Structure 1
């Protein structure tokens, strides 16, 4: 029997008798309808952890995000210098706006990916920006669990992701001296399994209920947001897209540029995508001259050993090595990741990759200098309960969850959980790998 990691605690709320497994599944299906949700097999309860564990996860995420932001901004005085330091294609970053606003808000929202290693949380990467996946799922599933347990019966504390974003939008509007109005910019074409705009409309509704003027725009509709004087009717926006994805769809970015030039600040701005570049993780893992002792201890405690891949010498576990030779010789200890990528694309796990494939990938990474190598962390296991809603009820499972704590304006904003009911670890993604989802909350 696989041992459960003590970090997760032992909270185990029962399925409410008034609903039963079928009722729980029905609540989840209703709240998650048309959001791209695997409804055949679902979690039968939220993942509850001790309050101190949740506080550690969110606190470390916020501090590391701030360190990554500082590292990126310190790499050069301008966006062009920073792109050069990362070796990225400038054409993939065409939507910069005012430098001051870029720097101020580039880290305003993020979702890192973390597992629980032998000594607690280990952060594998940071996804920064408004396009980070799973945010709506996290908010709506947290809302679903509140419905499941009913008024007065909710056994957890969990932040509202929409609430956190609303407070960010309000603060930005106040700072800019403009009325509270937000444009959500995205497309259902980016969302597998989603056939309507409900994914965006639920947040529009939330904002409107709290006094905002809010509207969702598909990219082709964006020019309709301009007023007769040439300005944009919404001073702030949520940028729910990546340039790469939209170019893949053949979407014209010119309307976005026009909205930016007319004064709309889409959050998070273009610089956020530079912070997401995994090379920045490599920089802080290796250490930068200006990092303090506290910075270095934070990295040592919460980041796996990570290095930018190129022909070089490195120190690993106290000894010097040629990086390429180390990666080939100790394949089972490492993961190779493209510096830019999402949903598990461009990731090779050494422990589950054949030697020939791995060696070719290492050679390619050394030549292209577009990847990082990261020490592999085996994900800790915890108890879960799943149900298919039938008369068979629920069944226990031991899972290796991938945790995605959202940080908005430096504050906790909910935590997505992705896992395989089989207990497998590895590359865990809702899209392409069929992972189930849940949310992590702090037990009361």
Structure 2
């Protein structure tokens, strides 16, 4: 007879649990969340009943490791070649996917100014599975609004029981710094499209940040791509010194969107953040380079990688060392399928990801053979996500219940500083490919207890 034991809660998460304010109850908490998240893309039937609260030292470790690894990835990418063309050649990437480069100083200086890695809590703490870099990284607006919602839920206490970075505030400070460096008045054009946001009816997703910026002295405006040309002022100069790239070239080409207005805005003096090079930093092959080790890496760099990155290699017909043994990479992946994940070097929202433990062996074999042939993927050692306590509700007391979840953590880093942390999870406690879009994950935020 097989017995099933309840997964143990990982000590990294601590044992903090915020009580719901009596004045609100389950229905009131749900109402606050739905009001803040209205029309920005949010599951409404079942929601988190409390934020994920962790010890301050755990949050500090998560953000600190994220910032240090991001800096290492940036250095690795820039060291791979002196120009964007050299770097794309080193990555084997299609140059047509990166048509919006600007001057070298801007590209190199700001390419890692905003990012959100994906991490799970492994046996010994945070393990970073990938780094999403740039202004188009998903979940930023959700993170800001959810953090604001929990502030409202606990607004009647004298002192909030948690620290909650403002994502919009952190991004605003990046914008302010860059405007000062450019000797320009603070102004930002937010460029995106509702076509990227399934089920969203209005521009509230973008307007929330526009209003935030305006309240803090910025000129700010949202543009759909077809509207961008009206941002040009007298003499053809673009009216905003900065732009926020709420898009990827791949997605916009899929929508049939013309990128020429973006090129015109760049040529007319608008600095879009993060610049095109950000998408090269987020290429998962860079993660493989750093995991395998580069000649210039210091002992401290290598220790950081050993501690926080799972074993990751660029897939090719070559030999690697895994757990002290030299072997062919293809042979290793086929022999040890359940120990590995296969990921396309370029992809998002779980696209192009195969989890060895849950993939049919025949499907896995074909994918490995294709990856060896095309050299467009990485292999990464599988990390089982640690569990923690949570609480979910449908807005009724009878529909409020505790849950044990395996969260995927997304700590945002803006100019090296903490900017909030997205949490994605399945309420039934399952792990795997966790995404808001396509996989139906619930979302929350991680906060540090005071």
Q: Flag whether TM exceeds 0.5 (same fold).
A: yes
Deviations 1:153-211 (A, max 9, x none): 52210100000000000000000000001100001110122111000000000000000
Give the distance between the partners of 1:390 and 1:24, measured in 2 at CA.
Answer: 10
Matched, 1:121 2:115: no
Let me know the Cα RMSD of the aligned residues. 0.6
Partner residue in 2 for 1:137: 142
Give the distance between the partners of 2:331 and 2:101, measured in 1 at CA.
Answer: 39
Matched, 1:355 2:353: no
How is 1:409-420 mapped onto 2 (pairs within 5 angstroms)? 409-420=415-426
Partner residue in 2 for 1:366: 372
Cα offset, 1:391, TM superposition: 4.1
Deviations 1:37-88 (A, max 9, x none): 0011000000000000000000000000000000000000000000000000
Cα offset, 1:277, TM superposition: 0.2
Matched, 1:280 2:286: yes
TM-score, reference length from structure 1: 0.99
Partner residue in 2 for 1:408: 414
Q: Which SS does the other structure have where 1:414 is aligned?
A: strand
Give the distance between the partners of 1:150 and 1:46, measured in 2 at CA.
Answer: 14
Give the distance between the partners of 2:405 and 2:44, measured in 1 at CA.
Answer: 18
Partner residue in 1 for 2:185: 179
Partner residue in 1 for 2:401: 395
Matched, 1:80 2:85: yes
Q: Which SS does the other structure have where 2:411 is aligned?
A: strand
Give the distance between the partners of 1:252 and 1:371, measured in 2 at CA.
Answer: 29
Matched, 1:150 2:155: yes
Give the distance between the partners of 1:441 and 1:278, measured in 2 at CA.
Answer: 28
Give the distance between the partners of 2:442 and 2:162, measured in 1 at CA.
Answer: 21
Q: Which SS does the other structure have where 1:337 is aligned?
A: strand
Give the distance between the partners of 1:307 and 1:36, measured in 2 at CA.
Answer: 35
Deviations 1:116-160 (A, max 9, x none): 000000000000000000000000000000000114252210100
Give the distance between the partners of 1:112 and 1:343, measured in 2 at CA.
Answer: 13
Cα offset, 1:427, TM superposition: 0.1
TM-score, reference length from structure 2: 0.98
Q: Which SS does the other structure have where 1:383 is aligned?
A: strand
Partner residue in 2 for 1:22: 27
Give the distance between the partners of 2:199 and 2:283, measured in 1 at CA.
Answer: 27
Give the distance between the partners of 2:182 and 2:220, measured in 1 at CA.
Answer: 17
Cα offset, 1:228, TM superposition: 2.3
2:100 maps to which of 95, 108, 121: 95
- Indicate conservation of the 8 Å contact 1:112/1:123, yes or no: yes
Matched, 1:305 2:314: no
Matched, 1:235 2:241: yes
Give the distance between the partners of 1:304 and 1:393, measured in 2 at CA.
Answer: 38
Deviations 1:361-397 (A, max 9, x none): 0000000000000000000000000000024152000
Give the distance between the partners of 1:58 and 1:126, measured in 2 at CA.
Answer: 13
2:223 maps to which of 217, 226, 236: 217
Partner residue in 1 for 2:3: none
1:111 maps to which of 108, 111, 116: 116
Partner residue in 2 for 1:5: 10
Give the distance between the partners of 1:437 and 1:305, measured in 2 at CA.
Answer: 28
Q: Which SS does the other structure have where 2:160 is aligned?
A: coil
Give the distance between the partners of 1:192 and 1:425, measured in 2 at CA.
Answer: 24
Q: Which SS does the other structure have where 1:169 is aligned?
A: helix
Give unmatched runs, 5+ long, in structure 1.
Answer: none
- Indicate conservation of the 8 Å contact 1:219/1:251, yes or no: yes
Matched, 1:41 2:46: yes
Give the distance between the partners of 1:339 and 1:378, measured in 2 at CA.
Answer: 21
How is 1:244-259 mapped onto 2 (pairs within 5 angstroms)? 244-259=250-265
Give the distance between the partners of 1:192 and 1:372, measured in 2 at CA.
Answer: 29
Partner residue in 2 for 1:315: 321
- Indicate conservation of the 8 Å contact 1:22/1:393, yes or no: no
Matched, 1:329 2:335: yes
